[in-house]
Amino acid sequence: MPVVGEYKVIYNSIDQRYIGSQHYNQHDPYWTIHSSGQFLYFDVHPFQNIAFKLK
């Protein structure tokens, strides 16, 4: 994602796969990403999903 901005994670199956369904990863948002015009890279494996929205 090469766009400058702050993103909220709205879904993250990566956490659910490794740490299970917890109270802190079931609401919107539970963490944010601050982009300063650089690319954000994610290593998402098969059947893992992550979704963002611009805050």
For residue 19 the two structure tokens come to 């740490």
Output the pLDDT for position 28: 54
Task: State yes or no: pLDDT of 1 exceeds 70.
Answer: no
Task: State yes or no: pLDDT of 35 exceeds 70.
Answer: no
Q: What is the mean predicted confidence (pLDDT) over 26-41? A: 65
Q: Where are the domains of the chain?
A: 5-54
